[in-house]
Amino acid sequence: MSPVLAGVLQLLALIAALALAYRPLGDYMARVYSSEKHLKPEKWIYKAIGANPDTQMRWPAYLRGVLAFSLVSVVFLYLLQRLQGMLPGSLGFQAIDPDQAFNTAASFVANTNWQSYYGEQAMGHVVQTGGLAVQNFLSAAVGIAVAIALVRGFARSRTGELGNFWADLVRGTVRILLPISVVAAIVLVACGAIQNFAGIHDVGQFQGGSQQWNGGAVASQEAIKELGTNGGGYFNANSAHPFENPNGISNLLEIFLILLIPFSLTRTFGQLVGSVRQGYAILGTMAVIWIGFTALMMWTEFAHNGPAFEIAGGAMEGKETRFGIGGSSIFAVATTLTSTGAVNSFHSSYTGFGGGITMLGMQLGEIAPGGVGSGLYGMLIMAIIAVFIAGLMVGRTPEYLGKKIGTREIKLAACYILITPALVLCFTAAAMALPTPGNSMTNSGAHGFSEILYAYTSGANNNGSAFAGLNADTQWFNTTIGLAMLLGRFLPIVFVLALAGALAEQKPVPETVGTLRTNKPLFTGLLVGTILIITGLTYFPALALGPLAEGLAS
């Protein structure tokens, strides 16, 4: 079988699996967040934290819950790393340096999972399982909760109430993330991923000698890192490591987990607003961008440009032979179009255009299908921008899902789409202008610029993948990327929840013959065009200095 055909068959199998899971999971999540009943374990959690899950919150209270919980999470994870040398199961590893501990705490709480350390050489079992793995669940649940709050803003009227953050957080963890990740972890163990608490031991090498290695609860962390679009690897090689991702079957499973909830949430959205066709319109937008990017990535990586490419069947540098170009390309697009950041190959070794595709996927705002929760609310923000543009063209007050998009709403949406590019471009400019950050670049010229642009794009968009070649374990990068991750996560959430509150206070507007039909393919096309134009206008100059220049020169 040719490598190209193998890649296409993998993509078709993945699409079929997602299609089969779409309706049942989407409907189930809609029931989870609309049910008035609480499970017994959930009641125990509410009692332990002193929360009343039946209290309805307006957007300021909901936001305070998100920020307070996240702040406590950052502090807890920071202290856990700083005290690692005193904890059992530390494997002899000492406390993490303050700047790196801050960066890691910010990273995992912000659902970014950027890592400027070697996991197998820095983190013991307690930090990995009790700190990092726990945040993989909780940060994902926070993202879903914020998305559901925005959906309620569209669904409700004449009230500012958006639900209860604590109930949404607990339900997302207990009823959705935990059961799916348990099943996925068992399957990964069956595929060959390890799951233990082994200490450091010597491992023999094929050509003689030995090296030290340690085990860990890898399969369970791998499952939730993909399912929750987190991305942090137990080992430095991440999902390219055979202990995390043993073979082609586990590779497809991990891609499936990455895309499962973000795509299915569009069905949940349609159910909660009372129109599944609205959900299909959002799904169509996500699918068009995802399939388009995947096709472009496979084309550029399979292109034969020279004898080495012809012998290998394409651009195999930096890719694992057990996955091939097709499996690596599908994984790379899935992880950068979501906020996952896991890698099964090294994006720095992709062709110039291939590296640009991974970067552009993040710069879209990671909305196709995006992160768990963040993809849906990011896409709904872009839908508001699209109907506003359509309203300007016909001279009519824009409406979306029965809500008028007035001055307040469009200002909040505009702030949302501006904050991340501002963080990326300002931090990149500062890093290129100052001498110290520039010393961390392994490469010069366009590729070196791409390394830094990719790092801040990944951090501010809460992706977490790295371009490789950049030494990010410095005080400058640990601090600035940490700030980019926190600001890139929580400032947009402020605008999302404020927008949700404004929408929930409105009374519904009746549909007329002049109302834009947002459940039709025409709107899907408008939304795709809006996303690409806004992103292009924002990032094209920077991309032209990096991956585009490199691609045209190769």
**Which is more confidently placed, 546 or 300?**
300
Q: How would residue 551 be classed by pLDDT, with cut points 50, 70 and 90?
A: confident
Please give the average per-residue pLDDT across 279-290, as a whole number: 97
Query: What separation in angstroms does the CA of 113 have from each of 247, 341, 415, 450, 523?
Result: 23, 7, 25, 20, 34
With 60 as the cut, is the pLDDT of residue 308 above it? no
What pLDDT does 306 receive?
A: 61
The answer to the question of residue 95 being in a domain is no
What pLDDT does 438 receive?
A: 63
The total number of structural domains in the chain stands at: 1
Burial of 368 (0-12, 13-18, 19+ CB in 10 A): buried
What pLDDT does 318 receive?
A: 81
The answer to the question of residue 70 being in a domain is no
Q: How would residue 313 be classed by pLDDT, with cut points 50, 70 and 90?
A: low
Angle of helix 445-460 versus helix 352-363 axis, rounded to 10: 20
The answer to the question of residue 159 being in a domain is no
What pLDDT does 209 receive?
A: 75
**Which is more confidently placed, 260 or 353?**
260
- Of 309, 307, 379, nearest to 337 by C-alpha is 379
The answer to the question of residue 549 being in a domain is yes
**Which is more confidently placed, 83 or 350?**
83
Rounded CA separation 414/410 (Å):
6
Decide if 33 contacts 171 (C-beta within 8 A).
yes
Q: How would residue 349 be classed by pLDDT, with cut points 50, 70 and 90?
A: confident
Over the stretch 233-281, which tens digit does the pLDDT of each residue have? 888 889 999 999 999 999 999 999 999 999 999 999 999 999 999 999 9
Q: How would residue 554 be classed by pLDDT, with cut points 50, 70 and 90?
A: low
Please give the model's pTM, rounded to 2 decimal places.
Answer: 0.94
Please give the average per-residue pLDDT across 45-64, as a whole number: 95
Q: Which domain holds residue 505?
A: 372-553
Please give the average per-residue pLDDT across 448-461, as a whole number: 89
What pLDDT does 336 receive?
A: 94
Give percent of the chain above pLDDT 70. Answer: 97
The answer to the question of residue 127 being in a domain is no
The answer to the question of residue 285 being in a domain is no
What pLDDT does 199 receive?
A: 80
Please give the average per-residue pLDDT across 26-52, as a whole number: 95
| Burial per residue of 181-211, b for 16 or more beta-carbon CB atoms within 10 angstroms, e otherwise | beebbeebbebebbbeeeeeeeeeeeeeeee
Mean pLDDT of the chain: 91
Query: What separation in angstroms does the CA of 97 have from each of 123, 135, 476?
Result: 12, 20, 13
The answer to the question of residue 446 being in a domain is yes
With 80 as the cut, is the pLDDT of residue 68 above it? yes
DSSP string covering 382-435:
HHHHHHHHHHHHHT---EETTEE--HHHHHHHHHHHHHHHHHHHHHHHHHHHSH
* Range from 295-299, 327-331, 394-398 carrying the lowest mean pLDDT: 394-398
**Residue 3, both tokens:** 């490598």
With 70 as the cut, is the pLDDT of residue 40 above it? yes
The answer to the question of residue 534 being in a domain is yes
Q: What is the DSSP letter of 204?
A: E
